[in-house]
Amino acid sequence: MTFTDPKDSEPGAENDKRNAGKSSTDESRAEEASAGERVIAGRITQAAQQAMLRQRRGLEQPEPSLGSRLGQMGILGWTIVLPTLLGLVLGHWLDRHFASGVFFSAPLLMIGAAVGLWSAWKWMHHQSRSQGS
């Protein structure tokens, strides 16, 4: 015959044993949840700091006006178009002078466009450096 402890035979004792196992899993789940909450809170804090930094930068360096933007587009347009047209006019004059069809016009048109695009690229980088500092 086996001897059993009277505490084990009580109806609540069996539930206590089961609950003891559950409490350790509940604690680990609670720790995982709190770790997840800390990660989310860290991300929210980082996003708030980035938003404040963007706002501060916006107040220190306001956006250029519409007139300023339109002026920049005009300068860029003429920077590209003027060398292209000069190449075309020079090529056309050379073609008429030497009676060569489009022998000079086509390459000088391309060279003029390349010079204009290069000039516009340099001007944009110069503008971005002067506005950034």
| Owner of token pair 């991300």 | 43
CB 109 within 8 A of CB 85: no
DSSP state of 63: P
pTM equals 0.55
What local confidence, expressed as pLDDT, does residue 57 receive? Answer: 86
CB 106 within 8 A of CB 91: yes
- For residue range 25-77, list pLDDT tens digits in order: 767 777 777 888 888 888 999 999 999 998 998 888 888 899 989 999 999 99
- For residue range 80-99, list pLDDT tens digits in order: 999 999 999 999 999 999 99
